[in-house]
Structure 1
Amino acid sequence: MSTATSLQPGTLLQQREIYLSILKDLTIMDDIFMRNVLKDSACTEYILKVIMDQDNLKLKDQILQADYKNLQGRSSILDCIALDNSGRKYNIEFQNADSGASLKRARYHGSLVDANTLETGQVPNELPDTYIIFITENDTLGCNLPICHINRTIEENCQQCHDQLHIIYVNSSFQDDTTLGRLMHDLHCSDPHDMHSEILAQRVLELKETQKGVDIMCDKLNELIVEERNEGILIGEAQGILHTQKETAKNLQHMGMALEQISLALNVSVQMIQEWFSADCVPVK
């Protein structure tokens, strides 16, 4: 079986038109777009300033798609690891699915960050203040609050336990006229001209409306689709082409693509994709 090298059969112009259609609807909450927006560290810094409510916060360094391993060697890819000038460390995660933002996952991320922070010879007391920040599409915790700060306490006297691990959940469905609410609006906004933050708008505009940015995103989309289709081909050789398309469709939806975009990518009708998702109990966006 031949290896997939493009989105679907057709000319390069047709492929590019499909990529442009997908790109137009992407937001910072979509994994593939978030990775490229945050390559401009000023965007990461702005997001942290708003969530931490600290205008003087300065970003020192960041790693995107950090590959962290636990003591057993299990690998996890974290969206963004950031360090500010005061030595505080952050793990920022953008989660569209509630299942990927459970409290136990936040706890696990905290352990991964700690395990990958200390160098040889350092002791636990040298661990920095660490913030695990989950920006969720829905009210994952069910608190009906725009932001929830979670810190350990001593049960007997209700005093805070200063272990310097802090977990923050930000509910991006709250998009009111506050600084935090306006940021949440921007994270879900596909049009840079409708965004509140000049910093985020400039970066989104660069990726969507300049030749350089559009070329970068088209290349990234092509890489994503090729990777998903190639993985699907391996499955398809053993289990059939239909299973290949179903698995690819589910993976693309998990990465934030709408039904119409998946239909274009796989050259399959929207109705057929809906039937696949219904049969597998996959929520339809």
Structure 2
Amino acid sequence: MLDKQIKERERQKDLQRLRGFRPIDDDFMRCLFKDNIPLVELVLRTITGKQDLVITDCRTQKDMKRLAGARSICLDAYGTDSLGQKYDLEIQRADRGANPHRARYHSSVMDIENLNAGQEFNELPNTYTIFITEKDFYGKDEPIYHIERINLETGEPFGDGEHILYVNGEYRGDSDLGKLMHDFNCTKAEDMNFRLMVERTRYLKENPKGVEEMCQVMEDMRNEAEYRKTIEIAHTFISMGDLSYEKIAEGTGLSVETVKELAKKKDFVPGGDME
């Protein structure tokens, strides 16, 4: 009975949170984009200015492979267009999440993901790392900041195919980009400009199936956060070296096998990806 009451309270909290969600909240954005290539295509066309851009594949929460010992990342939305170009679309509400070094790392991990043994370096696809920031990250009132490498002596583009864009989430001009950033900050579907944004937002906030989908996502997030916390506690005990694997498993509720696997991971980063 008590568990049922706790679950009901959590559900009511989730419904309240759902009403306040905006597309610029990354958890909601992932659900907006999930299995919705037309919406991803609309957003990328608006940001890049490529009106003929065709997205052929898009995944949310994409785990990227890494070199041994390097930090892995999970991309908010990862897409491929008809020319084979790759797009990493990230929502960053806090300035620290949009650190230029992070953008550099995201871009480099996409390179690792897209060049296999035996391929030539010139087979690397063009990549676009796009950060949509809630505030104007550079504070210059520009709608988009394009980050490109150039040859300082000649002033010419380096031409390596890497592109990094910072989109100003505060921008509200009359252009499609201004309208899109307006939509990204709306809590209500009826206040949005773009039909695809309206339809998907209305589904996730008003349709019973969509609401249930969002509530499940929020419950999964809570469970994942609790699991990660348990993993960090277990790793702390492992690092201390005072307890047996069996005792750590008993204290954390993890299996002995899981504890042993954690002990093997020399590159474990608390709060980060384990794979």
Q: Which category of TM-score, normalised to the shorter sequence, fits these structures?
A: 0.7 to 0.9
Alignment partners' CA distance in 2, 1:151 and 1:235: 38
Q: Distance in 1 between matches of 2:231 and 2:108?
A: 34
- Per-residue deviation, 1:42: 1.5
Question: For 1:184-223, what aligned pairs fall within 5 Å after superposition?
Answer: 184-223=181-220
Distance in 2 (alpha carbons) for counterparts of 1:102 and 1:236 = 28
Structure 1 residue runs without a partner (length 5+)? 1-5, 238-285
What is the distance in 2 between the residues matched to 1:234 and 1:85?
Answer: 40
Match of 1:29 in 2: 24
* Structure with more relative contact order (C-alpha pairs < 8 Å, separation 6 or more): 1
Structure 1 position 23, deviation (Å): 0.4
Amino acid paired to 2:28? F
Q: CA deviation at 1:43?
A: 1.3
**Residue from 169, 173, 179 that aligns with 1:182:** 179
CA distance in 2, matches of 1:70, 1:12: 38
CA distance in 1, matches of 2:7, 2:57: 38
Q: Does 1:145 align with 2:137?
A: no
1:174 & 1:231 partners in 2: Cα distance? 36
Residue 50 of structure 2 corresponds to which residue in structure 1? 54
Tell me whether 1:15 sits opposite 2:10 in the alignment.
yes
Alpha-carbon separation, structure 2, partners of 1:120 and 1:88: 19
Residue aligning to 2:125: 128
2:79 matches 1:88: no
Report SS of the residue matched to 1:55: coil
Structure 1 residue 142 displacement after superposition = 2.9
Alignment of 1:45 with 2:57, yes or no, is no
1:173 aligns with 2:160: no
TM-score between both structures, scaled by the size of structure 2: 0.78
Give aligned pairs, total: 233
1:5-36 CA-partner distances (Å, limit 9, x unpaired): x9x87265443322211100011111221111
Q: CA deviation at 1:231?
A: 4.8
Cα distance in 2 for residues equivalent to 1:162 and 1:231: 41
AA of the residue aligned to 1:139: D
- Report the secondary structure of 2:64's partner residue: strand
1:240 aligns with: none
Over 4 Å off, 4+ runs: 229-237
Q: Map Cα deviations across residues 225-265 of structure 1 (whole Å, 9 max, x no partner).
A: 2333455578899xxxxxxxxxxxxxxxxxxxxxxxxxxxx
Tell me which amino acid in the other structure corresponds to 1:72: A
| Per-residue Cα deviation, 1:147-168 (whole angstroms, up to 9, x for no partner) | 0111111111211111111111
Corresponding residue for residue 104 of structure 1: 101
Q: Take 1:154 and 1:102, find their aligned partners in 2: how far apart are those partners? A: 23
1:117/1:184 CA distance change after superposition, 3 Å? same
SS in 2 for 1:10: helix
Cα distance in 1 between the residues matched to 2:16 and 2:128: 36
Alignment RMSD (CA, Å) = 2.3
Q: For 1:154, what is the secondary structure of its paired residue? A: coil
Distance 1:186 1:60 in 2: 24
Which AA in structure 2 matches 1:68?
A: M
Q: Give ranges in structure 2 of 5+ residues lacking alignment.
A: 235-275
CA distances 1:112-141 after superposition (whole Å, capped 9, x unpaired): 000110123211100111111111111212
